[in-house]
């Protein structure tokens, strides 16, 4: 069944289309000559942090700042591409006295957006659209849109398990999948072609148990190693994770080594392009366990990426989380993310129900023809 209407998308402005924090950081460094220079990574929470980074608000609270915010690299081309896929609305919050400057700046930088599609106000939960794209975690969590998608930024890294992307290309891939989510066509691993299979689901859903069983029952897959800043990964018995320091993780990320990177329960995770390509070049298919953010990144970069959402009853999930060897805070974060992550099933290629690993593997093998 195909949609008989066009998707609608509401886009945030600050740090989604126009530079806000990076622009303010540059102005602050120019004025105060910070040594070492202030960076956007110091703005690691929403609002004032009680640190030197609070100086950025001095620049933001100025009409000239609002009138001169530069577009983020690639933003104008992104809006043009998205306008061909969905109906676009702007949803932006500024102080009432700055509404005129914000309105004019949007028209200057993004002329293809209709004037009556520019909505100024902070109640983004009242906007009736299919997709909300925003860097404000509070807006994503409160949204009534069927598909609220977070743009990853340093100040929302605590977000766990929700639909999130790292760049415009990943978001466009999300939109493509949403637009076709009623299609009956699904990828498989048949016809002697290898690919990438990603198991997605909340903590405690049984993803890792299924992955272990898939590896033991078939010779189709090779597991993809994920680099992580989680100290619990130091002695990972299954060999899925390799621990690295946060400094080393940032070096790899800044160097463009990762094909995807994400956060889960305050820890960073990422897989490298080289590791994926090595497995594919060997003739094997890649098997990995990721959140939906990582899965969408892989779909953006590689062909024949199959996402499988693992569904488990709530009691089973909670029991599995409580039995994990991790901190109370980690368990709390995982428990809180359960309900939010159920939305991710909507954008996965397949859904399997976990009762036990053998049953789930049998179902997956039937779906993928392996």
Q: How many C-beta atoms lie closer than 10 Å to residue 147's C-beta?
A: 21
Q: What is the pLDDT of residue 269?
A: 87
- Torsion, Cα of 52, 55, 57, 63 (10° steps): -160
Q: How many C-beta atoms lie closer than 10 Å to residue 207's C-beta?
A: 23
163 in helix, strand or coil? coil
Give the separation between CA 178 and CA 349, rounded to whole angstroms. Answer: 11
Q: How many C-beta atoms lie closer than 10 Å to residue 193's C-beta?
A: 11
Q: What is the pLDDT of residue 294?
A: 87
Q: What is the pLDDT of residue 1?
A: 36
Q: Are 32 and 145 in contact (CB under 8 A)?
A: no
Q: Are 221 and 286 in contact (CB under 8 A)?
A: yes
Query: What tokens does 119 get?
Result: 């909505």
For residue 365, the number of C-alpha atoms closer than 13 Å in the C-beta half-sphere is 18
CATH number assigned to the domain covering 196-368: 3.40.50.300
Give the separation between CA 253 and CA 75, rounded to whole angstroms. Answer: 21
List the chain residues with pLDDT less than 50: 1-4, 182, 184
Give the separation between CA 150 and CA 143, rounded to whole angstroms. Answer: 11
Q: CATH 3.40.50.1000 occupies which residues in the chain?
A: 8-179
242 in helix, strand or coil? strand
Query: What tokens does 110 get?
Result: 């993004």
Q: Are 8 and 86 in contact (CB under 8 A)?
A: yes
Give the separation between CA 116 and CA 40, rounded to whole angstroms. Answer: 33
CATH number assigned to the domain covering 8-179: 3.40.50.1000
Torsion angles phi and psi, residue 329, rounded to 5:
-65, -40
Q: CATH 3.40.50.300 occupies which residues in the chain?
A: 196-368
Beta bridge partners of 366: none
Q: Are 342 and 317 in contact (CB under 8 A)?
A: no
Q: How many C-beta atoms lie closer than 10 Å to residue 205's C-beta?
A: 27
């Amino acid at each position: 069944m195909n949609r008989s209407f066009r998707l609608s998308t509401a886009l945030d402005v600050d740090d989604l289309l126009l530079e806000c924090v990076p622009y303010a950081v540059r102005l602050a460094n120019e004025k105060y000559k910070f040594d070492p220079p202030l960076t956007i990574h110091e703005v690691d929470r929403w609002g004032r942090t009680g640190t030197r980074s609070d100086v950025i608000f001095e620049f933001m609270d100025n009409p000239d700042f609002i009138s001169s915010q530069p577009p983020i690299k690639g933003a104008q081309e992104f809006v043009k591409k998205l306008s061909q896929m969905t109906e676009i609305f702007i949803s932006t919050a500024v102080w009432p006295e700055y509404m005129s400057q914000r309105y004019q700046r949007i028209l200057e930088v993004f002329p293809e957006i209709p004037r009556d599609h520019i909505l100024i106000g902070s109640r983004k939960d009242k906007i009736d659209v299919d997709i909300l794209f925003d860097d404000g975690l509070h807006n994503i969590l409160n949204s009534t849109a069927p598909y609220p998608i977070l743009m990853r930024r340093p100040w929302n890294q605590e977000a766990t398990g929700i639909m999130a992307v790292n760049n415009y290309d990943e978001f466009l891939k999300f939109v493509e999948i949403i637009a076709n989510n009623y299609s009956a066509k699904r990828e498989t691993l048949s016809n002697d072609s290898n690919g990438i299979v990603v198991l997605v689901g909340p903590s405690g859903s049984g993803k890792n148990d299924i992955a272990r069983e898939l590896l033991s029952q078939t010779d189709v897959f090779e597991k993809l190693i994920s680099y992580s800043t989680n100290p619990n990964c130091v002695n990972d018995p299954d060999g899925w994770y390799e621990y690295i320091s946060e400094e080393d993780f940032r070096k790899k990320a800044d160097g463009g080594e990762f094909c995807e990177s994400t956060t889960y329960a305050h820890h960073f995770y990422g897989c490298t392009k080289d590791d994926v390509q090595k497995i594919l070049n060997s003739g094997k298919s890649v098997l990995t366990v990721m959140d939906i953010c990582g899965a969408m990144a892989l779909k953006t970069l590689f062909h024949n990426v199959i996402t499988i959402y693992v569904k488990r009853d709530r009691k089973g999930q909670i029991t599995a989380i409580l039995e994990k060897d991790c901190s109370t805070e980690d368990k709390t974060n995982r428990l809180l993310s359960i309900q939010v992550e159920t939305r991710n099933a909507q954008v996965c290629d397949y859904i399997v129900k976990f009762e036990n690993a053998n049953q789930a593997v049998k179902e997956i093998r039937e779906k993928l023809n392996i």
